[in-house]
Amino acid sequence: MSAIVEMKSMNKFYGTHHVLKDIDLAVTRGEVMVILGASGSGKSTLIRCVNGLEMYQHGSLVVDGFEMPVEADRRLGGERELAQIRKGVGMVFQQFGLFPHKTVLDNITIAPMRVRKKTREEAEATAMKLLDRVGLRAHAHKYPGQLSGGQQQRVAIARSLAMEPHLMLFDEPTSALDPEMVGEVLDVMRELASSGMTMMVVTHEMGFAREVADRVVYIDQGSILEIGQPDEFFDNPKNDRARSFLARVLKH
Amino acid sequence: MIATSIKWTRHNLFGKPFDVVLSLLVIPGVLWLAYSITDWAFVSAKWGIIVQSLRVLMIGVFPADQAWRAWTASAIIGAILGAGLGCVFSFKPHHGLVLLLVPVLLLIVHGGLGNALPATGTVASTILGWALTSYVPLSRKVLPAAAFTGFIVIVAIMAPPGVGLWGGLLLSVLLTLVTSVLSLPIGILLAFGRQSRLSSLRIICTWYIEVMRSVPLILVVYWIWILMPVLAPQWGLADVARGMIGFTIFYSAYVAEYVRSGLQAVPRAQTEAARSLGMSEFDINRSIVLPQALRVVVAPLVGNVLDIFNSAPLVFIIGLTDFLRAGQMILANPQYGDRTFEVLSFLLATYFVIGSMITYAARKLEDHMATGTR
Ligand SMILES: Nc1ncnc2c1ncn2[C@@H]1O[C@H](COP(=O)(O)OP(=O)(O)OP(=O)(O)O)[C@@H](O)[C@H]1O
Ligand SMILES: [Mg+2]
């Protein structure tokens, strides 16, 4: 039962704006954690801290056995831990973030070749297996611009998986998609969860959260107000604000 | 057909009273101008002077008995440029026909093979290089190495009579090529330096760029010409080399600004995606950000090449004889004093043709860069 992510009274500021307040949170290996909260509550900021895309100022954050340096230390060049952490943590963004000037295959192989020093043959073999897994083998030699949003997001997931991460972060992976494409991406994520991948997922897909999550975290204005089993959280939220949040999102 | 054109004329040229007046004034004016120019060009102008001074215009005061060296260099440059074009768009027979117009025109005007031979050689090697990279994709891989070797050969072959003797259109082209090629990597480094997290580097790069962009090129060239022997007397650099250094120092700042605008056009999400894959900042900049940035600024960068070519005449300040200066030298000869219009028209036409070719290539390059992405 070891934790892969452990936050202890973690605090983050944008200037004077206190965005994350005394966050205490532990994610166990193999767990799927869904993070819910209203717009602007700090969900993205929270998971972006985990792979160091955002810096935090106080407290501690340990990811996969490495201590993430606080902002002051990173400015002094404490970036070795950061590189180690990023090798083992994948991230999928709302806007896909595929490299438009590279083919699907090159998008997937570039990091394993550059960072993990794999040969092209190895990297391409892995990439083709992953494309099979997300159902896109036939599109290996296309450019991202030639794919639909749902296909691009599945490529983005395959690209992250190619680095053989121990933890995957998802920041609203289906929010930029047309409704008919949401399902194909959620299917891939569901399959990933059942394969035992540790996942932190920010999403507005309540059905997915309830079905796949091991635990649900509710954030409001930078504080964690509730953590619990999905059934418990959705059927019987203890916190008032969580209740009104659920009432608002489930109405739609 | 005629009816529609009459209608068009009525509508566009004689629609309102003001248009009528304007048309009545402008149309005869344009016709008269066209008539006088044609009359002058085909009847009164004595183009013989261009043919007689063609060597000086092309290679300046390079000794006549050594001219073969310069012609060989021209042919090599043609091959390199042609091969470069072939990487961007395929050679088609009509391209060859247009290029061959030059030697054919020379043959007709001059009537002898002697003067047309160098032009024929250059055009032929351009076509060969172009066709090679168009139809043998493998040859594109060795092009950078081949071009570099070609450049060394050019220097070696043209050096013996004295580097100080380089001149004419050949000098203008060489200066443009060297400056364009060198200022690109320097400009890219400056652009990254200007965004660096190291504040000292950032300040130095910003200053460099701002200073260069606020002073005239001619002054930079002159300063470098004076300073190089003081700073590095042991190198004994020739005027030509000092001129190229001055141009490169100056134009790198402009390249840096274009590249910087390209860098800013690359979405932050691209960097974040690459970071979260664990890529190093160096790899991210080299493989993700820079290629996308350059793609955006192809047009201004090629415009910069045109700018360099059109600014080449400024090297007269350090005593070099470029294409324009060669024309002036010919006119300085009292015997040819009354041929000003012929010589200047030829210069103008040549600059126009070369400039148009660069613009044409730029458009093709943009199309080429755009394919595949979207
Ligand atoms: N780069 C930034 N500079 C300053 N403030 C920021 C920045 N990014 C986010 N914030 C602020 O931090 C707070 C949390 O933002 P965050 O993006 O984490 O919210 P979120 O829960 O992901 O919202 P959403 O559902 O809209 O994505 C917001 O108040 C936002 O305005
Ligand atoms: Mg967000």
Predicted confidence (pLDDT) per residue in B63-98, tens digit = 888 989 999 999 999 999 999 999 988 999 998 898
The partner residue sitting opposite A97, judged by closest CB among B272, B295, B373, is: B272
Q: What are phi and psi of A202, to 5 degrees?
A: -95, 125
**Which residues of B fall within a CB distance of 8 Å from A90?**
276-277
For residues B121 and B191, membership in a common domain is answered with no
Q: Is residue B249 part of a domain?
A: yes
More confident residue, B5 or A117: A117
Share of chain A above pLDDT 70, in %: 99
Instruction: State the smallest CA–CA distance between residue B278 and chain A in angstroms.
Output: 5
For residues B209 and B346, membership in a common domain is answered with yes
pLDDT for the residue B259 = 97
Instruction: Give the count of beta carbons closer than 10 Å to the beta carbon of residue A207.
Output: 11
The Cα–Cα gap between A215 and A228 comes to 5
Q: Is the CB of A43 under 6 A from ligand 1?
A: yes
**Given an 8 Å threshold on Cβ–Cβ distance, is B279 in contact with A115?**
yes
Q: Is residue B216 part of a domain?
A: yes
Q: How high is the mean pLDDT of chain A?
A: 93
CB B252 within 8 A of CB B183: yes
CA B98 to chain centre: 18
For residues B178 and B283, membership in a common domain is answered with yes
pLDDT for the residue B365 = 87
**Given an 8 Å threshold on Cβ–Cβ distance, is A99 in contact with B273?**
yes
Q: Is the CB of A17 under 6 A from ligand 1?
A: yes
* Token output for B293: 């940035």
Contacts of residue A5, Cβ cutoff 8 Å, sequence gap at least 6: A25, A26, A27, A50, A61, A62, A63, A64, A167, A200
For residues B157 and B183, membership in a common domain is answered with no
Q: Whose CA is nearest to atom 2 of ligand 1?
A: A14
pLDDT digits (tens, 9 = 90+) for A90-124: 999 999 999 999 999 999 999 999 999 999 999 99
- Distances in Å between the Cα of A148 and the Cα atoms of A10, A56, A185, B353 are 38, 35, 12, 45
Rounded mean pLDDT, B227-249: 90
The partner residue sitting opposite A163, judged by closest CB among B278, B287, B292, is: B278
Is the pLDDT at B164 greater than 50? The verdict is yes
The Cα–Cα gap between B119 and B72 comes to 11
Give me the CATH number covering residue B217: 1.10.3720.10
Domain count, chain B: 2
Q: Is residue B102 part of a domain?
A: yes
Task: Report the nearest atom of ligand 1 relative to the CA of A43.
Answer: 21
The Cα–Cα gap between B82 and B92 comes to 12
For residues B186 and B292, membership in a common domain is answered with yes
Q: Is the CB of A16 under 6 A from ligand 1?
A: no
Is the pLDDT at B36 greater than 90? The verdict is no
Q: Residues A222, A202, A227, CA angle at the centre, nearest 5°?
A: 60
The partner residue sitting opposite B283, judged by closest CB among A95, A114, A156, is: A114
Residue B345's identity, in one-letter code, is S
Q: What are phi and psi of A115, to 5 degrees?
A: -90, -45
pLDDT for the residue B372 = 52
pLDDT for the residue B74 = 94
**Given an 8 Å threshold on Cβ–Cβ distance, is B287 in contact with A90?**
no
For residues B132 and B177, membership in a common domain is answered with no
CB B98 within 8 A of CB B43: no
pTM over 0.95? The answer is: no
CB B286 within 8 A of CB B275: no
Select from A174, A167, A195, A190 the least CA-distant residue to A50.
Answer: A167
Rounded mean pLDDT, B167-192: 95
pLDDT for the residue B250 = 97
Compare all CA atoms of chain B with the CA of A142 and give the residue at the minimum distance: B372
Quick one: DSSP state of residue A15? T
Residue where one domain finishes, among candidates B161, B187, B208: B161
Ordered DSSP codes for B193-229: HHT-SSHHHHHHHHHHHHHHHTS-HHHHHHHHHHHHH
pLDDT for the residue B286 = 95
Burial class (CB in 10 A: 0-12, 13-18, 19+), B299: middle
Task: Report the nearest atom of ligand 1 relative to the CA of A94.
Answer: 27
Residue where one domain finishes, among candidates B161, B178, B202: B161
B89: containing domain = 63-161
For chain B, count helices (H), then strands (E).
Answer: 19, 2
Residue whose tokens read 């004595």? B46
Q: Whose CA is nearest to atom 29 of ligand 1?
A: A40
The partner residue sitting opposite B275, judged by closest CB among A86, A145, A159, is: A86
Tell me the pLDDT band of B337, cut-offs 50, 70 and 90: confident
pLDDT for the residue B1 = 65
For residues B139 and B188, membership in a common domain is answered with no
Q: Residues A125, A126, A129, CA angle at the centre, nearest 5°?
A: 90
For residues B312 and B348, membership in a common domain is answered with yes
Q: Is the CB of A198 under 6 A from ligand 1?
A: no
pLDDT for the residue B111 = 63
Q: Is residue B241 part of a domain?
A: yes
Compare all CA atoms of chain B with the CA of A102 and give the residue at the minimum distance: B373
pLDDT for the residue B69 = 93
The Cα–Cα gap between B9 and B14 comes to 7
For residues B170 and B156, membership in a common domain is answered with no
Extract the runs of DSSP E, i.e. beta strands, from B285-352: 321-322
For residues B321 and B298, membership in a common domain is answered with yes
Q: Is residue B148 part of a domain?
A: yes
pLDDT for the residue B312 = 93
Mutant choice from B272, B277, B280 vs A, greatest count of A C-beta within 10 A: B277
Q: Is the CB of A203 under 6 A from ligand 1?
A: no
**Which residues of B fall within a CB distance of 8 Å from A107?**
none
Instruction: State the smallest CA–CA distance between residue A180 and chain B in angstroms.
Output: 23
Share of chain B above pLDDT 70, in %: 97
Q: Is the CB of A40 under 6 A from ligand 1?
A: yes
Residue whose tokens read 């652009």? B191
Residue where one domain finishes, among candidates B161, B178, B205: B161
Q: What are phi and psi of B203, to 5 degrees?
A: -65, -45
- Distances in Å between the Cα of B186 and the Cα atoms of A125, B235, B255, B360 are 38, 22, 8, 26
**Which residues of B fall within a CB distance of 8 Å from A98?**
273
Residues of A engaging B, defined by a Cβ cutoff of 8 Å: 51-53, 83, 86-87, 89-91, 93, 95, 97-101, 110-111, 114-115, 143, 145-146, 156, 159-160, 163, 169
* Token output for B216: 């005239």
The Cα–Cα gap between A127 and A136 comes to 11
The Cα–Cα gap between B69 and B87 comes to 28
Rounded mean pLDDT, A185-203: 96
Strand partners, B168: B322
pLDDT digits (tens, 9 = 90+) for A132-166: 999 999 999 999 999 999 999 999 999 999 999 99
pLDDT for the residue B374 = 43
Residues found in chain B: 374
For residues B186 and B141, membership in a common domain is answered with no
Q: How high is the mean pLDDT of chain B?
A: 89
More confident residue, B111 or A217: A217
Q: What percent of the residues of chain A are helix, what percent strand, and what percent coil, each to the nearest 5?
A: 40, 25, 30
Rounded mean pLDDT, B90-112: 84
Select from A196, A175, B57, B67 the least CA-distant residue to A186.
Answer: A175
Choice from A44, A50, A172, A217 to test ligand 1 binding pocket (greatest atom count within 8 A of CB)? A44
Instruction: Tell how far the Cα of B251 is from the centroid of ligand 1, in angstroms.
Output: 42
Most confident of B21-25, B158-162, B337-341: B158-162
Q: Is residue B2 part of a domain?
A: no
What is the ipTM, given to two decimal places?
0.93
For residues B95 and B190, membership in a common domain is answered with no
Q: Is residue B326 part of a domain?
A: yes
Choice from A11, A19, A21, A221 to test ligand 1 binding pocket (greatest atom count within 8 A of CB)? A19
Is the pLDDT at B113 greater than 80? The verdict is no
Q: Is the CB of A222 under 6 A from ligand 1?
A: no
pLDDT for the residue B234 = 85
**Given an 8 Å threshold on Cβ–Cβ distance, is B292 in contact with A114?**
no
Q: Is residue B311 part of a domain?
A: yes
